[in-house]
Structure 1
């Protein structure tokens, strides 16, 4: 990004950059993406940088110091989990942070942000600070670190990171697989509408992804982030690989969860008639039932692992 003339200063940075933080966000994103540090659409990274500018007053780059790290961290902790940021042009971030904060109700315990979420935002800003340390935030003293977001991260207790998510109940699964996605609904934005004149079952990602979740207990990002190279069909046992790529990142230990296991291959956990369970069959183009689901076993995920599709499950191109 082009650097405007700057004056030598007696402050903590080698120069005083008069550009405001919000003015360089797009340039920083483009540069980090071109270097391969960041990949994808980067909507989350952009929102985090915009939130930093908003919380700290979007000041001139040369005016920032270590106190802004604490201000950003504490500002995030005061926002509820249901908070909607908007953009610098519309919504909450188009108004002063102090004004928005004054209008928020007292923060209830169940509305407090998870420390992992706060650490994620701090980690993103740590990457930004390291990048800006080459230009606008280059320390006046060699080797010094003026703005250190990594130091502000919150220690996560091991017990907090190993809590298993509650399993889905039979009622949850019935609700999912008896929805119009599988029984027939409308098109486009009416997929979940019942009573359509011509109910249709569309065999797309919304149809197949939950089936694969049920079989293999993958998370949404892992399944919807599969690439063509991850699908292997020229093998005695067709399978797919869950691995880090441009569209998905494995959650590893944080993604561990409990999974319900039907007592047999022909009955659901409640012992009721299993007719509600979804089925797919070899060569089926997404049609109707064709035999019971196999057992669903809990799995531990690694950064790269191979998951085997049951022989009854066809992978369609």
Structure 2
């Protein structure tokens, strides 16, 4: 013996042993190695394990006590099952009138056989929790010459469409909005079987006296002890329409999304890789966007099945959308782990705290100071997701529920009450850079000289050709989207007919936005002067495959465009005081498109340059005769880098070009902490 409670020692290693009891069940023994030969360490681990065991056992006992069904819930299940059984028995009796069974010529005898067998099966289910198949015999004691009829219960149940108690129990639990558990399902099965017994006996009485009406459903025996005279409680979350048995009746919104993916190969299928011939599967981003509103709906519905969704649930979700701060919503890791209801409550708390702080400031500062200081606090006027985001959420939800309703009935859902037209002037929302702002941007140290590889925003004499240097240049002179630039592979850079060009297409790192986005863009003359072709050739000589390999990560998660934004752009933004709302990386694209309009480039060429689709255009859009027109369009963009000298290509060291390992970002600043980006 080692002398430590619940610990033994064998061949120098200490082991923890403990007998665990859960209620009146048979105890079981826990035995595990402490993986130590140190008595001191074993004496520290053993009490901790004992405490953990006690807590787990208490929690399990508590959960077992809470996991059952209340008297009111059992009463409601009994009532609903009685109504189902009355309809089923009446339909079975009527079917015997329409089509007599093969096993009996006499309808009364056939009905007696079926009622007796059903009652026996329900009795076995109520007593034993399950129904084993058995034989049913029909013998007439008064007529020795009549044939003896012997049937298996499984065959008889199929012929009368007798629903299994398991499916019935699940359906009743779904109807009253109770989450499934093993204990609840077992209790619900027992109530279902008992309701069947009562319904069969009641049906026999009605047959004996056809003129009597059905009595009220007996439920007194299922009421809680303190409610002897109370009426049966009705569930607070009834389904919009009667639910049917099966998995669809109990499927949550997010589970329905998984089934939607599985049933629709165009979405990528169950694992995101399947696709129909000639079709591109949805990107991981689109799949996440489709799942997100279903997750919000599930949280608003408190985990109830999608079969029970009502218009009131959509109203509640819309109220949540109107009480979120769009600029910071789910931008942080902490918020992504919270429910939408928790986030709404957090914003409400921030507004209340800001109002109190503003009142305190108002008492101490002058009126002029108050005006500027009040903007630091979140106000009610700052809340509300923009219409583009909410319309996307509602569109995806409508697509999901329309698909689901073809497999299970749903209440009427009016999405038109929530999908609104964005009444804002889109031209005024498209912020662009002026020529002066472009020149100010490219006078920063990444283009004029940095202190070192890692201190790119501190002035010095180091010029490095990488994502810091070339992404904004390419964005300015090509108008490409952020992910199109950052996810470019070296194989997408082509030299043909004396022209360097970007081949914007799907590759192994990213998908292009639309089919119309696939295009070829010649290099602007200024990109060639500043050495982009030399940079491409230098990377190829080093064996690289990506245009900006330093943006990749070992995990492969996220896009290279997101990596650029988080690692580089938010740092550049802090150096540009002129940046306003909406004037970020995408503003380069608007600047280029507006420049083409100002240079009177034809609409067709401008559409090809930007990757926009035009009706009536031919498929031979990128013929060799068309490429020079795109080159003219690229050179029509204002040149704001004439002050930069062309220098020999300097790549990042190999260790800095390697994919970045995952790291803890909890303490790092995120985009939502910088209001200017």
Q: Taking structure 1 as the reference length, what is the TM-score of the superposition? A: 0.62
In the TM superposition, residue 119 of structure 1 has moved relative to its aligned partner by 0.8
2:283 to 39, 48, 53: 39
Cross-structure match for 1:17: 249
In the TM superposition, residue 168 of structure 1 has moved relative to its aligned partner by 1.0
Cross-structure match for 1:207: 469
Q: Deviation per CA, 1:87-142: give whole Å up to 9, x if none.
A: 7996542864663354242744455432112112212222332343354xx226xx
Kept in 1: contact 2:452–2:462 (CA 8 A):
yes
Cross-structure match for 1:234: 496
Higher relative contact order (CA 8 A, sep 6+): 1
Structure 1's unaligned 5+ residue stretches are: 253-264, 267-276, 288-293, 313-317
Cross-structure match for 2:32: none
Q: Deviation per CA, 1:262-296: give whole Å up to 9, x if none.
A: xxx99xxxxxxxxxx99524743279xxxxxx995
Kept in 1: contact 2:254–2:295 (CA 8 A):
yes
In the TM superposition, residue 171 of structure 1 has moved relative to its aligned partner by 4.8
When you count helix as a share of all residues, which structure comes out higher?
2
Deviating more after overlay: 242-251 vs 70-79: 242-251
Deviating more after overlay: 239-248 vs 146-155: 239-248
Query: Secondary structure of 1:124's match?
Result: helix
Q: Deviation per CA, 1:225-264: give whole Å up to 9, x if none.
A: 5577865533454434557896232599xxxxxxxxxxxx
Cα pair distance change 1:179/1:25, threshold 3 Å:
farther
Cross-structure match for 1:259: none
Alpha-carbon distance between aligned partners in 2 of 1:79 and 1:163, rounded to the nearest angstrom: 24
In the TM superposition, residue 79 of structure 1 has moved relative to its aligned partner by 0.9
Kept in 1: contact 2:451–2:459 (CA 8 A):
yes
* Residue 425 of structure 2 is aligned to residue 168 of structure 1: no
Structure 2's unaligned 5+ residue stretches are: 1-165, 176-238, 276-280, 352-377, 517-524, 538-591, 598-605, 615-620, 636-677
Alpha-carbon distance between aligned partners in 1 of 2:505 and 2:379, rounded to the nearest angstrom: 38
- Structure with higher Rg: it is 2
Alpha-carbon distance between aligned partners in 2 of 1:224 and 1:24, rounded to the nearest angstrom: 35
Alpha-carbon distance between aligned partners in 1 of 2:512 and 2:416, rounded to the nearest angstrom: 24
Q: Deviation per CA, 1:144-165: give whole Å up to 9, x if none.
A: x7445466311234x6334352
Alpha-carbon distance between aligned partners in 2 of 1:90 and 1:192, rounded to the nearest angstrom: 31
In the TM superposition, residue 78 of structure 1 has moved relative to its aligned partner by 1.8
Kept in 1: contact 2:335–2:343 (CA 8 A):
no
Query: Secondary structure of 1:210's match?
Result: helix
Cross-structure match for 1:129: 401
In the TM superposition, residue 185 of structure 1 has moved relative to its aligned partner by 6.1
In the TM superposition, residue 23 of structure 1 has moved relative to its aligned partner by 5.1
Query: Secondary structure of 2:303's match?
Result: coil
Mapping for residues 178-197 of structure 1, pairs under 5 Å = 178-182=443-447, 183-184=449-450, 190=454, 192-194=456-458
Cross-structure match for 1:273: none
In the TM superposition, residue 203 of structure 1 has moved relative to its aligned partner by 2.3
